[in-house]
Chain A
């Protein structure tokens, strides 16, 4: 039987897990990384080859916070469109959140999304299962059966568990399955559904604000429950300086706590929202500039393990309802890498190796993915080829079905040239093939 092979030639391989940062050839065989070495291309003349000279060759990027909207809201996004948006953004693996309609709250739905993703997705789709039935915060889901069906995390993302006893039990069952509990930290009473951050900008615009403490009180609760139960809790889309400090402290104490941050929270702050533009409305909201700076610091010192977009597609009509009525959320799959290269690496906030850690090795560690996040031989053949010199402007159109982005028109430097999943090129900017 012929091996399916692809040789990635002459690129700068950046693999934080192997502490490798050097020009190497990478051979993928049968969907796995087979060899990483200099001069492979001279020995393997017959192997199909991708010329990566001038490009970075990195373990496939993992976005562990993505809303694919299928089933239920296929007008906003589908597994097909969302995974194509991911591929365009250099992302080879996404973790799909369960707040679909219906919510992914049983093994049958997990299997449905898996089969859909196998048939129609172009990147790896991991699935997070809901913690409570219908994400109503009342009864636990069958976490054990969902785990057998292949979920990678448990979360009621978007609808935090206000009941701390229920939260404790959900965390304990997740721990029993060896999977992470991801929490959207928001005290719903304190936040009150406010569309923006509490502070100057809200005061001037006459908008109700959600205070930073709405996030931090839940982060602190979750840390206490992680200590109590031994369960691994992962803080989603961390946004407030005090939350970052709490996670840093928990890590120092050796607690099983990790965190992710979304590009909008490390690039923008509440003062950046022009007027009442609903494309700047997300949850948690853009916070003060000091919070943004604390998130940057958390990314730099490793308090924050992962960059995750919280890609949340909403059709245009919904964002046109006006700021207060518009749903929360912005898309992010196609802009995450460009923003990171421009706002983190070019500014020297992160080294390029640290960036690849936060976008690949970090989320792989959080999710316990042993075969991802590295280009060591035997790992999955997921590779992102990055053109660090490409200057581009975020356009008005996206591969995503939705275009609710606060970054439209922004000039960025660096983006994915090609995206390879299990040894196959699923996106190539030069051939426009997906």
Chain B
């Protein structure tokens, strides 16, 4: 029904992924993040005057460890005036199937309004969303989506490049297991960017080209003419699974070095969702170099998450 009367910029209860969002919905989030970023950059760091989430409670349910994403959401929620229920990493057996639904329903009964969830299984949030009146924000589900990371990457690129249309963006690394890659692909494609995914075949899901991306196993080839390169974290356990020959071998072929970066456009931006393995997927001199926007991504993450929360909240008032 929302689609028919889509006059409001935002009409969704949940943020589960970027795949189902329209370009205008994504733009609404990115636009809303701008003033929040300005406040964060102000040395006085003023809180948003309206405190739109005052009286609301935000709860975290994470079945995987996370420091950055959780902290980023927590800062965002607090700056908007929300109460934050701090959960340590829950025993993942409490986050399976019906037990997860029970947990959500119990916390909902206590007055929780927002859930920020991370789950190791792709699609784990989907059945929950229909079963609760609370708003769910996906903070990463398996290898499916990590929409706020995708949004902050889009925000960063848009700020630096003015527009996403026609940009060549390279995503390099473990595409097979990466929810960051999928959210980025969905978001970038909606704005007319050209996306190339690059990595060893063992870490490349067959069929990924159906998302409209170019697939290559040659990083030098991928980087030609690139406006931005998003370097994915390589999980060291992929070595035990024989999906990697060795981390040294990986760096040899896919590590982003200064020499390789020189193959891209001179103003090519370097992004990384963190945390970085220096010397595995990225050389330190690139991570800390002039083309890196990695710390700016982190700051933008807070602004984008504030935008998501405030838009979800605005729908509650309008409804």
A residues adjacent to B (C-beta < 8 A): 198-209, 211, 275-276, 317, 320-325
Judged by a CB distance under 8 angstroms, whether B145 is at the interface is: yes
B145 touches A320 (CB 8 A): no
Query: Is B118 part of the contact surface with A, judged by Cβ < 8 Å?
Result: no
Q: How far is the CA of A47 from the CA of B124 in the complex (A)?
A: 60
When A and B form their complex, which 5 residue pairs have the shortest distance between CB atoms, in order from nearest? A276-B123, A206-B144, A206-B143, A200-B207, A321-B97
Q: Which residue of B98, B121, B179, B206 contacts A209 across the interface (Cβ within 8 Å)?
A: B206
Find out whether the CB atom of B211 lies under 8 angstroms from the CB atom of A203: yes
Indicate if the CB atoms of B208 and A205 lie closer than 8 Å.
no
CB distance from B147 to the nearest CB of A (A): 12
Q: How far is the CB of B125 from chain A (nearest CB, A)?
A: 9
Given A206-B145, A206-B182, A209-B205, A322-B210 contact (CB < 8 Å): no
Residues in B with CB closer than 8 Å to A324 are: 121-122, 142
Of A203, A205, A275, A276, which contacts B206 at CB under 8 A? A203
Q: Fill in one digit per residue for B180-216: 1 if any A CB lies within 8 Å of its CB, else 0.
A: 0010000000000000000000000111101100000
- In the complex, which residues of chain B have a beta carbon less than 8 angstroms from the beta carbon of A322? 96-97, 121, 123-124, 127
Question: Are B143 and A207 in touch, CB under 8 angstroms?
Answer: yes
Contacts of B122 in A (CB 8 A): 205-207, 276, 323-324
Interface of A is mostly: loop
Which residues on the A side are within 8 Å of B126 (C-beta)?
275-276
Residue among A198, A200, A206, A275 making CB contact with B210, cutoff 8 Å: A200
Once the chains bind, are B206 and A206 in contact (CB under 8 Å)? no
By beta carbon, the residue of chain B nearest A324 is B121
> What would be 13 A-B contacts, judged by CB atoms less than 8 Å apart?
A203-B206, A206-B142, A206-B144, A206-B179, A206-B182, A207-B122, A209-B206, A209-B207, A276-B122, A320-B98, A322-B96, A322-B121, A324-B121
* CB-contacts of B15-32 with A (<8 A): 19
Nearest-CB residue, chain A, relative to B146: A206
Complex Cα distance, B179 from A376, in Å, reads 61
In angstroms, Cα B98 to Cα A209, docked, is 25
With an 8 Å Cβ cutoff, the count of chain B residues facing the other chain is 23
Contact check, B96 vs A323: say whether CB atoms are below 8 A apart.
no
Contact A204 B96, beta carbon cutoff 8 Å: no
Q: Which of A204, A211, A320, A321 has the most CB of B within 10 A?
A: A204
Cα-based distance from A423 to B205 in the complex (angstroms): 55
Contact pick for A323, options B121, B205, B206, B211, CB 8 Å: B121
A323 touches B97 (CB 8 A): no
Q: A residues within 8 A CB of B98?
A: 317, 320-321
In whole angstroms, how far apart are the Cα atoms of A276 and B124 in the complex?
A: 8
- Among B96, B97, B123, B127, the residue within 8 A (CB) of A205 is B123
- Best-surrounded residue of A203, A208, A275 (most CB of chain B within 10 A): A203
Q: Which of these, A199, A202, A276, contacts B127 with CB under 8 Å?
A: A276
- By the criterion CB–CB under 8 Å, are B207 and A323 in contact? no
Whole-angstrom CA separation of A304 from B19 in the bound complex: 39
Q: How far is the CA of A198 from the CA of B126 in the complex (A)?
A: 21
In the complex formed, the residue of A with least CB distance to B143 is A206
Check A199–B97 contact: CB distance below 8 A: no
Interchain nearest-CB distance for A85 vs B (Å) = 25
Could you tell me if B207 and A203 are in contact, using CB atoms closer than 8 angstroms?
Answer: yes
CB distance from B203 to the nearest CB of A (A): 12
Instruction: State A200–B210 Cα separation when bound (angstroms).
Output: 6
Cβ-defined contact, A203 with B123, below 8 A = no
What are the residues of chain B within 8 A of A317 when measuring CB–CB? 97-98
Contacts of B123 in A (CB 8 A): 205-207, 275-276, 322-323
| Across-interface contacts of B211 in A (CB, < 8 A) | 203-204
Which residues of B are found within 8 Å of A209, using beta-carbon distances? 205-207
- Residues on the B chain within 8 Å of A201, using CB: 207
Query: Which chain A positions have C-beta within 8 A of B206?
Result: 198-199, 203, 209, 211
Among residues 87 to 123 in chain B, which have CB atoms less than 8 Å away from a CB atom of chain A? 96-98, 121-123
Q: Of residues B143, B207, B211, which shows the largest number of chain A Cβ atoms within 10 Å of its Cβ?
A: B207
